[in-house]
Amino acid sequence: MQGIVSSPVLGFSCSRQFGPWFESFSGCRYGSGKFLHSNVRVSTGSYGPGQLSQRALRRRVQRSEGNVGRRTVQCRNQVQSLQLDFSETEQLQQCLSNIYNAMGLQDYSLNQHIVVSGKQFLMNMEGQWSLIWCMDGRFYERYDGPELNFEWAYDGNQSPWSADAAGRVSILDLDDREVCLMASWVRTGYWLTEDGRKQLSISIEPQKGGPFSKETVFALHLKNSKVMAYLVVDNSNWLPARLSIKAFGSEDKWEYRDWQLIQPGYSSKFPMAITHNPPAGGRDLYSVTSIKVEIPGEELADAEISEKYAFPDSSLVPRSTHSYPKTHIDNNLPPTVKMYHAESGHYLVRPLIDGKDIGYFIVDTGASSLTITSEKAEELDMYAFGEAYVTGVEGEVKCQFRRAKSFQIGPLTIEEPIFMEVPMAGVVRGISPVAGICGYDIFFHCTVEMSYKMGTLSFFDTYLYNKASKIRASQWQSMYMLENVPHVPAYFMENEAIFLLDTGAGGVDIIFHGRAVEKFRLNQTLELAGTASVKGINTSGKGLQVQYGILDSLEVAGQSFNRVKALFPAKGTCGSLDFSEYTAGVLCGDLLTNLLVVLDYGNRRFALIQSRYVSSRSRI
């Protein structure tokens, strides 16, 4: 049997022509790309009584897998000269030495902090940009624009962290973490130091021009990690020219131009013009206006600068923009609101935007922010600014931001919320009008319970919930956050893999991307049932050809499932179903319909509970 599937962004909605169980998907991924910028971290602000403590934040850091360099940063008098393993080739040794000398890294001392400032054109908005780093690998970077602030840093001990437009602090996992570290270390030259080399694996890629090539390409990745980067160096001056990082299911690209001395008396150089092309689309421009070297005891104390690198003591940091999202929970209001089940398989709620009920919003953990249609945004006269890109299965769609006065759902209120303007036509069947999507913003600041069976969505202050909760410690499962959406481990056919947990994807249980199909030989092990065509928003192509079938069994968070409905790309096709080198696909809403889903984004954990309200599910 065959059918047609349409997708708003990541997810899909489909015709029932090819089977009663294959209904629809609506998950969304907005602007996959750089760990912070292209994700468009545009949501929420302050906590209520349930705000995470410093101790809780530290526990989150300690649980983060694959942390780089769990070591105490030691400031020595001078950066050690480049030392290579005996196993490395003479050619590699010579090339890395050439780059090291060309960048003038021998001039840096480990107790110095280099401060670069200038302008950054980000998401079609010009703002002030600054980068501070030390040659022991620590760094702090910040963007201050007219509408949004972003910052991200690495203290040398824990995983790198970021803070979004609402000041919300997040540990960087998976692709986010590795892109952050490699993009920063290449610019600053840390990757060439003795300590930096201990963190990375580096090799030379064969070139078409052979020994006459004008460029040398290096392949590098963090040790025990999966994200690969390819750095192109100009052989005429031995300075980095371009960097391509294979992440987020695409490429994160950088260009470095106009290398100049950082200041008189130094031979060290830095690119005065940088271009960043995120995977989802658009272009970020950096231009340097000043560089200075801070030495402890002269202008700033080391402790004062080091504080910038350090992981914040609070889950929120201050914002300097005139307006930014601020969230609170009113514990005096009922915690539960009704969820509506659409014919297309979606679950929706009716929040108030600026005090008005303007329609239905999809409840979607696969969405990295709030969204609204242009029609509803115009109806409310919402302020428009900036530029962003929505990633769809057939390409990227350009959109803009919208700011409202308020967003309220049950006891949760967001003042000055930021939405992404995304079309929703044809996404949901059986319910109208559909005004947008409730994504990351409604989940981060509280503990959320979703009961598909009862048709309820409940919001609780995390501190109070933990005091009264009957959920056992063994029932909680850790999760990763990649591009503002949760990713969780699952087990199938004696394999373990990480999947996006997407409550907005309905009509199927699990989606595998193409690499997973090959790795786990799913074409040979699944019970095939038919084909379909996945189409994205605002696209006119034939869509992504997919197959669907039955997976024998699956286990997630201690819950076992049999006869699991699966979707995967047809052989020879490509599309945006692949989001990370670490993931195998998507766990969809249909898998969860007979369970109570508990989400605790602040502590990066979730639980799937068989409650007395949930009857046993009849599966195919």
Q: Which residues contact 503 (CB under 8 A, 6 or more apart)?
A: 347, 363, 364, 365, 366, 450, 589, 592, 597
More confident of the two residues 166 and 74: 166
More confident of the two residues 5 and 556: 556
Q: Report how far residue 540's alpha carbon sits from residue 543's, in angstroms, rounded to the nearest whole number.
A: 8
Q: Report how far residue 171's alpha carbon sits from residue 511's, in angstroms, rounded to the nearest whole number.
A: 26
Q: Report how far residue 492's alpha carbon sits from residue 496's, in angstroms, rounded to the nearest whole number.
A: 7
Helix (H, G, I), strand (E, B) or coil at 517: helix
Contact 6, 426 (CB under 8 A): yes
Is the alpha carbon torsion for 496, 574, 536, 178 positive or negative? Answer: positive
pLDDT at 550: 92
Q: Which residues contact 56 (CB under 8 A, 6 or more apart)?
A: 602, 603
Region 488-502: what's the mean pLDDT? 96
Reported as a pLDDT band with limits 50, 70 and 90, residue 429 is confident
393: closest CA among 2, 5, 1? 5
pLDDT at 539: 44
Helix (H, G, I), strand (E, B) or coil at 59: helix
In our burial notation (b when 16+ CB lie closer than 10 A, e otherwise), range 436-469 reads bbbbbbbbbbbbbbbbbebebbbbbbbbbbeeeb
The maximal CA–CA distance of the chain, rounded, in angstroms, is: 75
Q: Report how far residue 260's alpha carbon sits from residue 290's, in angstroms, rounded to the nearest whole number.
A: 11
Q: Report how far residue 338's alpha carbon sits from residue 340's, in angstroms, rounded to the nearest whole number.
A: 7
CA-to-CA dists, residue 365 to 27, 369, 384, 443, angstroms: 7, 9, 25, 8
pLDDT at 618: 31
Q: What is the pLDDT of residues 304-314, one digit of tens each?
A: 778 899 999 98
More confident of the two residues 482 and 60: 482
Q: What is the pLDDT of residues 76-125, one digit of tens each?
A: 334 444 444 434 588 898 999 999 999 999 988 888 899 999 999 999 99
Question: Apex CA 606: angle with CA 180 and CA 560, to 5°?
Answer: 115
Contact 29, 368 (CB under 8 A): yes
Contact 509, 591 (CB under 8 A): yes
How many other C-beta atoms are found inside a 10 Å radius of the C-beta of residue 434?
A: 24
Q: What is the pLDDT of residues 440-476, one digit of tens each?
A: 999 999 999 999 999 999 999 999 999 998 899 999 9
Q: What percent of the chain has pLDDT over 70?
A: 78
How many other C-beta atoms are found inside a 10 Å radius of the C-beta of residue 320?
A: 11
Specify the pTM: 0.85
Q: What percent of the chain has pLDDT over 90?
A: 62
- Specify the pairing of strand 477-478 against strand 228-234: unpaired
- H runs (alpha helix) in 194-301: 194-199
More confident of the two residues 280 and 377: 377
Alpha carbons within 13 angstroms on the beta-carbon side of residue 382 total 30
Is 386 a residue whose pLDDT tops 90?
Answer: yes
For residue 256, give the amino acid letter. Answer: Y
Q: What is the pLDDT of residues 503-532, one digit of tens each?
A: 988 778 999 998 999 999 988 888 888 887
Q: Which DSSP letter does residue 443 get?
A: H
pLDDT at 204: 93
Is 265 a residue whose pLDDT tops 90?
Answer: no
> Could you identify the residue written with the tokens 């271009």?
275
pLDDT at 582: 95
Enumerate domains of the chain plus CATH numbers. 4-26+467-609 (2.40.70.10), 54-68+83-309 (2.50.20), 326-437 (2.40.70.10)
Helix (H, G, I), strand (E, B) or coil at 199: helix
Q: Which DSSP letter does residue 410 get?
A: T
CA-to-CA dists, residue 613 to 146, 288, 474, 594, 596, angstroms: 49, 60, 21, 9, 9
- The values of phi and psi at residue 280, to 5°, are -80, -15
CA-to-CA dists, residue 301 to 75, 138, 139, 223, 420, angstroms: 13, 16, 16, 33, 42
Q: Report how far residue 216's alpha carbon sits from residue 231's, in angstroms, rounded to the nearest whole number.
A: 8
347: closest CA among 505, 510, 567, 561? 505
Across all residues in the chain, what is the average pLDDT? 82
377: closest CA among 349, 415, 419? 419
How many other C-beta atoms are found inside a 10 Å radius of the C-beta of residue 541?
A: 11
Region 405-429: what's the mean pLDDT? 94
